Each structure stands twice: as structure tokens, then as C-alpha cells.
Amino acid sequence: MLTAFARAFKTPDLRKKLLFTLGIMVLFRLGAHVPVPGVDYRNVQMCMDQTKSGQGLFGLVNMFSGGALLQITIFALGIMPYITASIILQLLTVVIPRLEALKKEGQSGQAKITQYTRYLTVALAILQGTGLVATARSGALFGGCTVGNQIVPNQSIFTTVVMVVTMTAGTALIMWLGELITDRGIGNGMSILMFTSIAAGFPSALWAIKLQGTLMGGWLEFSLVILCGLAMVALVVFVEQAQRRIPVQYAKRMIGRRSYGGTSTYIPLKVNQAGVIPVIFASSLLYIPALLVQFTGSKAGWANWINANLVKGDHPIYMATYFLLIVFFAFFYVAISFNPEEVADNMKKYGGFIPGIRAGRPTAEYLSYVLNRITWPGSLYLGLIALVPTVALVTLNANQNFPFGGTSILIIVGVGLETVKQIESQLQQRNYEGFLR
């Protein structure tokens, strides 16, 4: 493994790509510590100390921004507007025929969809930036802070506009940095920046668990968390790599004097076909009732019920709702992202068939049957992984910024595996040896 890393840095063009990617990651982390104009940075730090950064409704978004959200920096919105825009465009592709036609046009159509994603990202950044500034001005960003309403001392319209424009520009800059990594670096740029944001919070979160521990000076809890994290990483790697390979045989065809086809291949159906998107959907949906209560300030019966059951992550109703939403969105996303009828039609068009299954509609029904069967364990696995931080809250008395949470582990392991595969393929082109011998 170490010699493979050494070979990667000895290869000139691969070394340039790796160093360029690392440089962008450093620049991204520097921007996460530059405060937005108009914010009282001293009061922000005081509120973070009083309320224990990472807790509350904004924990997930703060994790994706690498802690920049609660510090109200120029990169406070992080990569979330782009993720949301990408998911919305992907969902609309199934609904809007024009987008579906663009998707089938290949490179030019994909470039057009990417352009739409950029526009939607900027629009969402303006919307989310306005909401963040309004929350910070009202003092609701840090609920238990005594100086929460003094985070933005000057509450004029000009200051608000400057803050929103600055954070929107920060999101646009993040989007540009991610595309630079994709074009000139290693791996998918947006995924790499998301990986950087989440991994940046690991050291402080682990050390906070050690300081809060009571057994053996906190080292016992620290060791248990590390062991739990390693076990989760091993489980996630095992499931993320698991797939059902459906054999496909292509009939031999004679065109002129040449013979085409006659090959055997397979359709890889992953156990976790939906990835981390169901967890993001479920988390976002569960935030809506609590945000509604917070902004309305209602004291009605429904508001009290939401505060009692859907705000605290360790409540049984919250845990059950979260788990069921993840299972639902796993099936929902797989249904819209994988079309068995389209796959069956393409196979029939090129003379392919599954042994023992007739081409056409029977093939589509078989693919749908297999996909539903393997989505069940995948969705249950996602739900159980996502509940690990909640279990940690109860057993270890950890804060809600528990480092080895379901979303963070899924993203880090997934991005890490894809990036290592790309580096390995680059090495095999030159040395015929990758990371794994």
C-alpha cells in the first residue's frame, strides 16, 4: 500500500493531479474560517461555546459545511445548495419530458442539465442565505445563547444584502472549485469537497467525546467510539461493494462477413442502489416540523407535540419515523433512478437476454422483482446505520456531532472507495499494479 502511494507521487502527471486536489482542499478549508461581513465573530464564538456547536436543528447542514454554517463564514452554506439542486434536477428528469430528452442526448444534453443545476444552485443559495441571515438576526441560530440576538449588530437592509450576496458567492466559488477538481484533479470534485467538510469535523468531535468521558479519564469512551467507527466502516465497505450480478447473454449476429455479439456480461445491481440520498431526504423532511415551530413560535397543542416527540433525536417516535422515512425514500429513489423497462428494451434492441428469461416485458418484470428483493436489505441497512448517532447519544452521552454517524460514514467511505479506484486505474495504466495486489 505504501509503495503504491510512493509510485503515485513518482508519476509526474498523477502527482500534479494529487497536489492540485490537495491544494483546492486546503483553499476550501481556509474559506470555511473567513467570517461574513457584518457578523460579530466574538459573539458567534461565545454562542458556540454556550450551546455546544453542532447541536440543534442545523447539525446536518453544519456537518456538510465543515462547521462553517454555525460560524457564519463565507462558505457557510457549503455544498448543500448544489446537492439539493442536483437531487431536484434528477427528480424532475423523470417528470419533465424536456429534461428526459436532454438526458438521452449524451454529452451535449448533460452539459445543458449541468448548466441548469448551476442556475438552481445559485437560486437555492440566495434562498438559504436569506433564511440563515434571518435566523441569525432573530437569535434562533443559537437557541440557548445569551447574546444570540447580537450576532448581527447592524440589521440594516444593506448589511443583510451584503451577507446574502457574500454567502451566495461563496457557494458559487465552491461549485467552481469542485468542477476544477473534476477537470484537473482526481475524483469527483463535489464529492471530494463534501468528504473534506465531513472529515474536518472528526478530530474535534473525537476529542470532545474524550473530554466528556468519565471512565479512565475519558479514554475508555474514546476507544469504544474508535472501535465502533472501525466496525461501521468495515460494514459500510462490505455492503457498498455488495451487488447482485444478473448474467446477460448477447446473441451472435452476422453482418456481412463479420460476426458480432456472442459475448457474456452482467448487470450489476447494488444492494444499496440509492446511496446516501434516502438519509438526506429523511433528515431534511424531519427538520421541517421543528423549523416551522421555531419560526412561528406557536404554543398550540400541535407545536408542543412536535417539540416533545420530533425534536429530540433519542425519542422513540422520532427514531421510528426516521427509520421508516429512510426505508420509504430508499424504495422511492431506486424506483425513479433505475427503469427496468428501459434496460429491458435496450437489451432487446442489441440482441441481449437473460438466460431462462424471455426478452421484453418478462425481462423487465424479472429485473423489477430482483431489484425489490435486494432493496429491502439495503434500505434496512441504511436505516440502522443512520440510527447509530442516536444510540451513541443514549449510551455514551455524546453530543449530536457524533463523528461516526450514518450519513458521514456513508459519504466518507463511498467517496474514499471511488477516489482510490480512480487512482488505482491511473497506476495500472503505467505500472500494472494498483493499491491491491
pLDDT in tens, the chain (437 residues): 556 667 777 778 888 888 999 999 999 988 888 888 888 888 887 777 766 544 455 666 677 677 777 788 888 888 888 888 888 888 888 788 888 888 878 788 888 888 999 999 999 999 888 888 888 887 777 766 766 567 888 878 888 899 999 999 999 999 999 999 988 888 888 888 888 888 887 887 777 777 776 666 677 777 887 887 788 888 888 888 888 888 888 777 666 666 665 678 888 888 888 887 888 788 777 777 777 776 666 677 777 777 777 766 667 788 888 889 889 988 988 888 888 888 888 888 877 888 888 888 888 899 999 999 999 998 998 888 888 766 665 665 555 455 566 677 888 888 888 888 888 887 777 665 555 55
Joined together, the cell numbers standing for residue 413 give 467511505
Tell me: do 193 and 250 sit in the same domain. no
Tell me: do 54 and 163 sit in the same domain. yes
Joined together, the cell numbers standing for residue 209 give 467525546
Supply the pLDDT for residue 166.
Answer: 93
Tell me: do 397 and 308 sit in the same domain. yes
Tell me: do 99 and 247 sit in the same domain. no
Supply the pLDDT for residue 255.
Answer: 66
| C-alpha pair distances (Å), 68 with each of 28, 265, 313, 373 | 11, 46, 23, 41
CA separation for the pair 309, 371 (Å, rounded) = 34
Tell me: do 58 and 172 sit in the same domain. yes
User: Pick from 200, 219, 241: which residue ends a domain?
Assistant: 200
Residue range(s) defining the domain that contains residue 18: 1-200
Tell me: do 175 and 312 sit in the same domain. no
How many domains does one find in the chain? 2
Tell me: do 42 and 55 sit in the same domain. yes
Residue 156 falls in which region: left (phi positive, over 0), alpha (psi -120 to 50) or beta: beta
Tell me: do 206 and 321 sit in the same domain. yes
Cβ atoms 272, 378 nearer than 8 A: yes
Residue 267 belongs to a domain: yes
Cβ atoms 283, 410 nearer than 8 A: no
User: Pick from 200, 216, 233: which residue ends a domain?
Assistant: 200
Residue 413 belongs to a domain: no
User: Pick from 166, 200, 234: which residue ends a domain?
Assistant: 200
Cβ atoms 77, 31 nearer than 8 A: no
Joined together, the cell numbers standing for residue 14 give 498523477
Tell me: do 177 and 97 sit in the same domain. yes
Question: Where residue 102 sits, what CATH number does that domain have?
Answer: 1.10.3370.10
Residue 146 belongs to a domain: yes
Tell me: do 154 and 227 sit in the same domain. no
Supply the pLDDT for residue 54.
Answer: 44
